[in-house]
Amino acid sequence: MARKITLIPGDGIGPEVALAAKRCIEATGVKIEWEEVIAGQAALEKYGEILPQNVIDSVKKTKVALKGPIITPVGTGFRSVNVAIRHALDLYACVRPAKSYVGVRSNYTDIDLVIVRENSEDLYAGIEFEEGKPETKQLIQEIAKYNKKKILPDSGISIKPISRSASERIVKFAFEYALKHNRKKITAVHKANIMKFTDGLFLKTAREVARRYEGKVAFEDVIVDNMSMQLVQRPKNYDVLVLPNLYGDIISDLCAGLIGGLGIAPGANIGDEMAVFEAVHGSAPKYAGLNKVNPTAMILSGVLMLDYIGERQAALRLENAVKEVVAEAKFVTYDLKASRDDPGIVGTQEMADAIIAKLK
């Protein structure tokens, strides 16, 4: 029986990279019945809202979605459709593997890291108070009653909540991921020396969870600023990193940089019951509709999706096909060529064709 999967093509370059990924996934032979729903700009034009309820309902039903990047139009009341989807479906773990592929220009080789970023809280919770607003002034006065440190009256305030329960579930997720994928070490990243009650709680909880996995997966913790330097100098010392939301966002882009950029960086947002797979990159509006951009990040997100639904062999075959095409550097998009004037540059769909042709 075909597996039902929600397809959200997205905005900008989204529909073209989603199409390329869909074609590659179908070419593995895994039977999929796609339920296509629209969110973002196209949904705004058709339904008057950027995140229609049927998108959320569809993923709740199928439990798995492949999603193209979505622009967040200014002034719609949403901070980001992408963040709204993760919140609505409680996709608390953002998993971003950063793996070197031969043929991609980078200062590093043989990188194989996995970033596990907490997706639901921290400074991304969206609890903010604007400078000058009466409620902001009131909050500043209220805080002054409990803390001697002065907040200037012309401040804006963003709240950073970090809970024991959300920290526990993300660290547990990282350990379970490590066990399932034969990974050897978890590094918890934090700034607990400064933010004792938020990052400190994250670290304390991470240490408690780590004790349950003693003898199975190694554990260490590193302060985020040191981590940034370590990753640039000695990335091979690390394996799976688990981080609160904001550090996870920044460090996963750093790691995308280690492997040669956004064109090849896949991602997944995973909860206890469902998951949405999407590239790390955005909708790159200036390239929309040009059949120009690299579909690899989206195709590799499809590889993660196949693995998640239990189609491990198909996932491996598709990843190997991507590896071969990228290594040959013949049928690849502009960003994977040494020169932008290379007459051999191919388009998004042609690169997908080359990957499909390699599928064994």
* Interface contacts to ligand NAD, rule CB under 6 A: 17, 69-72, 82, 262-263, 278, 281-284, 286, 293-294, 297, 335
Is the separation of the CB atoms in 244 and 122 below 8 Å? yes
Nearest to ligand NAD of 284, 355 (CB atom) = 284
Kindly state the helix (H) or strand (E) to which residue 128 belongs, with its residue range: strand 128-129
Q: Which one of the listed residues 225, 272, 286, 330 is annotated catalytic?
A: 225
Separation of first and last alpha carbons in the chain: 22
CB of 112 to ligand NAD, least distance (A): 21
CB of 117 to ligand NAD, least distance (A): 13
Q: Using only the alpha carbons of the chain, give its radius of gyration.
A: 21
Q: What DSSP letter does each residue of 73-98 carry, written as one string? A: -TTSS-S-HHHHHHHHTT--EEEEEE
- What are the start-end ranges of the H helices in the chain? 14-27, 41-47, 53-62, 81-88, 134-146, 164-180, 199-211, 224-233, 245-258, 296-308, 312-328, 348-358
Nearest to ligand NAD of 2, 74 (CB atom) = 74
Nearest to ligand NAD of 206, 275 (CB atom) = 275
Please confirm, yes or no, whether 238 is among the known catalytic residues. no
Nearest to ligand NAD of 129, 287 (CB atom) = 287
CB of 227 to ligand NAD, least distance (A): 22
Q: Which one of the listed residues 11, 122, 199, 249 is annotated catalytic?
A: 249
Please confirm, yes or no, whether 124 is among the known catalytic residues. yes
Burial class of residue 275, CB neighbours in 10 A (0-12, 13-18, 19+): buried
Nearest to ligand NAD of 136, 333 (CB atom) = 333
Q: Which residue is nearest to ligand NAD (CB)?
A: 282
CB of 324 to ligand NAD, least distance (A): 19
Is the separation of the CB atoms in 191 and 251 below 8 Å? no
CB of 41 to ligand NAD, least distance (A): 10
Residues 6+ apart with CB under 8 A from 309: 3, 5, 30, 64
Nearest to ligand NAD of 61, 79 (CB atom) = 79
Q: Which one of the listed residues 67, 92, 122, 124 is annotated catalytic?
A: 124
Q: Which one of the listed residues 67, 191, 292, 358 is annotated catalytic?
A: 191
Q: CA–CA distance from 22 to each of 32, 35, 67 (Å)?
A: 10, 12, 10
Rounded to the nearest angstrom, the gap between the alpha carbon of residue 341 and the centroid of all alpha carbons in its chain is 31
Phi-psi region of 151 (alpha: psi -120 to 50; beta: other; left: phi over 0): beta
Catalytic residues: 124, 191, 225, 249
